[in-house]
Amino acid sequence: MEVQAHFSREEINMTCHLLNPKTKEKVAIKKLHRPFQSEIFAKRAYRELRLLKHMKHENVSISHLTQHTSPASFNRLHYLVMPYMFTDLSKVRGHLSEDKVQFLVYQMLCGLRVTHFLLQDLKPGNLAVNQDCELKILDFGLARGADAEMTGYVVTRWYRAPEVILNWMHYTQTVDIWSVGCIMAEMINGRTLFKGKDYMDQLTQILKVTGVPGPEFIQKLDSLEAKNYIKALPHYPRKDFSTLFPRASAKGIDLLEKMLVLDGDERPTAELALEHPYFDSLREPDDFPEPATYDDSHDNATLSLDEWKRLCFREVKSFVPFPRRDSKRKNTLTMSP
């Protein structure tokens, strides 16, 4: 048995890799300790279960999820069984060939297309890949609805959209498109595009590539401090992306230019990005079905611990695994860390 452990902010999660004796497939088992320690923990566990059941798609980590819990230990332990993935993008070193970049970015956008959430934490470490370059988005624990009020601390700085750094309070799903652009750029060049040492250095590095915005963009900012900061910057012109990414094709550069735009209102949604000619050889309508409506009726509820437990147990018992869909696409790509 292979065992991996990591520690979250509030509770300990352990993930181990096992062989399913019935299917002979490798699976990952995530064990959550003390999900019912308090009302807050129980509400978080319930919300995660709701999200796991809602997001049924090949490019979401929980699309083939099954759940198991022992009635005798339901108050203490919770197990999530999901497909085992070979590695994650943070462990893949060096630049990737364009066909791999194209396929991986396409899958990121397909996964984003079917959700109604802002992930806020999209980064290479949250993107699992297997040997044949199939990708799954991991960790929806920080996902929120597009109308929720959000602050910037939850996102890894290097992949953080500039509007998060500038503390806009009501931004849209294009914050994730910025992250996809940063990850795509990193796969092409084999190094992090914006590796800021702190918040201000991160923003400065971004502006040296995107160029310092004009008065129309500055007027959109809610923060007076952000407005004054940008006004005081020297004039940085927008860099030539064909020079910045010499290995990329013309279509790849065009897509990057559209995703890495400072103004989030000007970036494409995942749906629009998938229509880009860069993906003409990959696009299958069944890859991104119309998103289902998510029931968030309990997201703002205040319930007792026992009530949250009952809701969680109901979700576990009613879960139906999502069957794997056979794609018409022939994939000959392979991935190694």
The answer to whether the beta carbons of residues 276 and 251 sit under 8 Å apart is: yes
User: How long, in residues, is the chain?
Assistant: 337
Active site residue 121: yes
Instruction: Tell me the C-alpha distance between 303 and 126, whole Å.
Output: 31
The tokens of 319 are what? Answer: 């879960």
Eight-class DSSP state of 125: G
Phi, psi dihedrals of residue 258, rounded to the nearest 5°: -75, -35
Instruction: Tell me the C-alpha distance between 190 and 96, whole Å.
Output: 7
- Count CB-CB contacts under 10 A for residue 254: 16
DSSP H helices, 15-167, are 39-54, 98-113, 162-165
Instruction: Tell me the C-alpha distance between 175 and 337, whole Å.
Output: 27
The tokens of 278 are what? Answer: 């860069």
Catalytic residue among 121, 176, 287, 296: 121
Burial classification of residue 337, based on how many CB atoms lie within 10 Å of its CB (0-12 exposed, 13-18 middle, 19 or more buried): exposed
* Catalytic center residues: 121
